[in-house]
Amino acid sequence: MTHLRVYDSLAPDGLRGGSAHLHTACTEAYAVLAGGGTVQTLSGDGYAEVSLVPGALVWFTPGTVHRLVNDGDLEILVLMANAGLPEAGDMVLTFPEHVLADGEAYAAAATLPGAEATTAGTGEAARARRDLATDGFVALRDAVLRGGPAALEPFHRRAGAIVRDRVAGWRTVWQEGPLAAALATGEHLEALAAGDASHLGSSSVSQLPAPPEERRMGCCGTLGTFMPVAAARVGGSAP
């Protein structure tokens, strides 16, 4: 879960916003908090534009290329499936084909230098990354408009190749997080069906601190990230 302030600088095509990308294993959801804009998508449904207004909730499944356009002060609460997989490299940016085809070139273009990784930097590296992804997105969008969703297949194939070597590490994240939680729910359902509600006695309340003032430079904007590792149990006593 991340608080996102979408970039408002101009991309090469004259629109303000973030870097187009997809996720290879995660569904992503946008809960719009403030401002306005659009999310442009390329998916099995073709090309679409979805309006983003306060209170709107939009989500998309793995393989959907999405690009945020900021029409003014757009802020979003971003909810990602599968725990930490996005931070582990689940995202693939829509760079031009010659960059996608070269692993070293892709890594160099996708990675921000340490001094530019947060809002303490100039933001120039994040803008350059966004602009390169925009060039690739425009070409990909034009291909889909000409040939339909099948035109996404080469990019999907490139994306799969880019993340392939990371999958082994993702399995541990998935097994210890989402899968473990789903299995625990199954155990609770079995217990309740058997008349056993003893697991309710281990209930608790936890909290996370607010994100730090120095925000991360993400692909779509500046990020205030809630860190689960910092979760603290909330103590209390009966009134």
| pLDDT tens digit sequence for 189-224 | 999 999 999 999 999 998 888 888 899 999 999 999
User: Which candidate, 75, 94, 84, places its Cα nearest to that of 22?
Assistant: 94
- Confirm whether 125 is domain-assigned: yes
Residue 15 lies in a domain: yes
The enclosing domain of 121 has a CATH number of 2.60.120.10
Structure pTM?
A: 0.92
Question: Is there a domain that residue 84 lies in?
Answer: yes
If DSSP codes are grouped into helix, strand and coil, which group holds residue 230?
A: helix
For residue 239 the two structure tokens come to 């009134």
- Strand pairing class (2-6; 216-217): unpaired
Q: What is the DSSP letter of 212?
A: P
pLDDT at 175: 93
Count: domains in the chain: 1
Residue 182 in any domain: the answer is yes
Q: Show the domain range for 115.
A: 2-195
Calpha distance 157→193 (Å, rounded): 45
Cβ atoms of 31 and 57 closer than 8 Å? yes
Would residue 54 count as lying in a domain?
yes
pLDDT single digits (tens) 147-181:
999 999 999 999 999 999 999 989 988 999 899 99
Q: Is residue 226 assigned to a domain? A: no
The reply to whether 212 falls in a domain is no
In-domain check, residue 40: yes
pLDDT in tens, 120-146: 999 999 999 999 999 999 999 999 999
